[in-house]
């Protein structure tokens, strides 16, 4: 499926689990024919159990429910939890699961990192929020800051077709085709132009990165990127630096209190190189930052699952939505500017930036790595990932991208 701009959509920004989970669970409770969910993580905590209850109730009233979890991100699900879903009639699938080796998860590459929901073919959710309690503020200091969007309108058709294409067919349907969905009138059209983009290991290897680069290349006033895991490719970094040199205000919101300490150390290697050309860097310090969003100029924005790091840009399966709408872009920018003003610390350029010999050597090595990583990534461990139906009486498997 080729990505295409589609006009006439409605979109709502959902910030953190406090806004995302009620919206998704209400949509599931109102579903009449179909619920399809893809998520990297599903934990057995208060969020996971609420999702389990909502989809089981939907299945009990005759709604087709399909859930795809990642075999690495959701590897701790117990047979009891999965069994209740399957017994309720939910089709539960796991992307490339594998057994642990000496207690460690070994299948770390080429994960299914998307976070998508489509209900009745009419409403979709796209973003970076998993089904886990650490997306709620009452989780404590390690609660994540994150974003998603709720969408209605013709863009949902594209997202719907995409999630259907990966489903295991049920009796009476063909692959990539769901049971008939009763669609209600869509109501008043929206005003947002939207583009659904994804990254896979076949035909869409760099789609998300290409759209980022094109937006930054065409920027005239401001680029604001907020991303949890930031170690992008050479070409994307080059576009940021070029934009800053031609007078565009380029700002980054990155993790200051990362959930994995190595993230800050690795990202910090890039600071001097970016700041030398005028890129401003803010570290979000209230709690771990998990968002993957950006705003360019007055009307371009993106929300999704893709980090700007080697895993997301060259290995994982990802999905973002890109939006052209001044009102939405302004709202997202205002929320990010609130973080900058109240919950971030600006990283000041070092006095001897770029002059220490070891810094120059480090930068040279890093950027040669970044320049060639996309070609190297193709030679990393690779196999045909499987989508398996766990806890089912059969071992159905289908190839996945």
Give the pLDDT confidence of 73-108 residue by residue, as tens digits.
Answer: 999 999 999 999 999 999 999 998 876 666 665 666
Which pair of structure tokens corresponds to residue 327? 């009102």
Residue 133 CA, distance from chain mean position: 17
Q: Quick check: is 1 in a domain?
A: no
pLDDT for res 290? 97
Extract the residue ranges of the chain whose pLDDT is less than 50: 173-187, 393-401
The CA angle 70-5-238, to the nearest 5 degrees, is 75
> Are residue 183 and residue 53 in the same domain, yes or no?
yes
For residue 322, give the H/E element and its range. strand 318-324
Q: Quick check: is 201 in a domain?
A: no
> Are residue 39 and residue 148 in the same domain, yes or no?
yes
Instruction: Enumerate the active-site residues.
Output: 113, 115, 120, 290, 292, 297
> Are residue 115 and residue 36 in the same domain, yes or no?
yes
Q: What is the pLDDT of residues 314-331, one digit of tens each?
A: 889 999 999 999 999 999
Q: Quick check: is 2 in a domain?
A: no
Q: Quick check: is 200 in a domain?
A: no
pLDDT for res 31? 98
> Are residue 243 and residue 347 in the same domain, yes or no?
yes
For residue 325, give the H/E element and its range. none
> Are residue 177 and residue 212 in the same domain, yes or no?
no
Q: Quick check: is 202 in a domain?
A: no
Total number of domains in the chain: 2
DSSP state of 260: S
> Are residue 41 and residue 165 in the same domain, yes or no?
yes
Q: How distant, in Å, are the alpha carbons of 71, 151, 243, 247, 266 from that of 223?
A: 35, 24, 8, 11, 22
6: left (phi over 0), alpha (psi -120 to 50) or beta: beta
Which pair of structure tokens corresponds to residue 138? 């009452």
Full residue range of the structural domain in which residue 287 is found: 207-377
> Are residue 174 and residue 254 in the same domain, yes or no?
no
Half-sphere exposure of 122 (CA within 13 A, CB side): 16
Q: What is the pLDDT of residues 257-305, one digit of tens each?
A: 877 777 777 788 889 889 999 999 999 999 999 999 999 999 999 999 9
> Are residue 214 and residue 356 in the same domain, yes or no?
yes
> Are residue 308 and residue 391 in the same domain, yes or no?
no
CATH of the domain at 318: 3.30.870.10
> Are residue 253 and residue 339 in the same domain, yes or no?
yes
Q: Quick check: is 278 in a domain?
A: yes
> Are residue 129 and residue 278 in the same domain, yes or no?
no
Dihedral sign for Cα atoms in the order 318, 135, 386, 394: negative
């Amino acid at each position: 499926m080729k990505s295409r701009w589609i006009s006439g959509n409605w979109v709502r920004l959902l910030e953190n689990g406090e806004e995302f989970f009620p919206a998704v669970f209400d949509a599931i409770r109102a579903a009449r024919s179909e619920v399809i969910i893809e998520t990297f993580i599903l934990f057995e905590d208060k969020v996971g159990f609420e999702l389990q209850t909502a989809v089981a109730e939907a299945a009990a009233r005759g709604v087709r429910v399909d859930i795809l979890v990642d075999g690495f991100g959701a590897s701790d699900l117990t047979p009891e939890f999965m069994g209740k879903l399957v017994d309720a009639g939910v089709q539960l699938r796991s992307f490339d699961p594998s057994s642990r080796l000496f207690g460690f998860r070994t299948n770390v590459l080429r994960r299914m990192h998307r976070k998508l929901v489509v209900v009745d073919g009419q409403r979709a959710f796209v973003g970076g929020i998993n089904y886990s309690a650490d997306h709620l503020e009452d989780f404590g200091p390690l609660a994540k800051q994150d974003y998603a969007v709720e969408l209605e309108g013709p863009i949902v058709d594209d997202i719907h077709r995409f999630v259907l294409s990966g489903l295991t067919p049920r009796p009476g349907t063909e692959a990539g085709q769901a049971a008939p969905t009763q669609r209600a009138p869509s109501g008043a059209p929206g005003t947002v132009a939207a583009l659904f983009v994804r990254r896979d290991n076949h035909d869409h290897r760099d789609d998300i990165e290409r759209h980022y680069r094109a937006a930054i290349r065409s920027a005239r006033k401001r680029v604001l990127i907020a991303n949890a895991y930031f170690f992008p490719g050479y070409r994307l970094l080059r576009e940021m630096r070029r934009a800053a040199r031609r007078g565009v205000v380029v700002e980054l919101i990155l993790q200051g209190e990362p959930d994995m300490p190595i993230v800050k150390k690795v990202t910090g290697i890039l600071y001097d190189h970016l700041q030398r050309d005028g890129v401003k860097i803010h570290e979000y310090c209230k709690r771990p930052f998990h968002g993957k969003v950006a705003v360019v100029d007055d009307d371009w924005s993106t929300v999704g699952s893709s980090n700007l790091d080697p895993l997301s840009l060259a290995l994982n399966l990802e999905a973002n939505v890109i939006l052209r709408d001044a009102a939405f872009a302004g709202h997202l920018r205002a929320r990010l500017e609130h973080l900058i003003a109240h919950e971030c610390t600006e990283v000041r350029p070092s006095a001897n930036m770029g002059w220490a010999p070891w810094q120059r050597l480090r930068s040279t090595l890093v950027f040669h790595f970044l320049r060639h990583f996309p070609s190297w990534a193709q030679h990393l461990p690779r196999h045909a990932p499987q989508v398996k139906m766990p806890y089912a009486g059969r071992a159905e498997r289908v190839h996945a991208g």
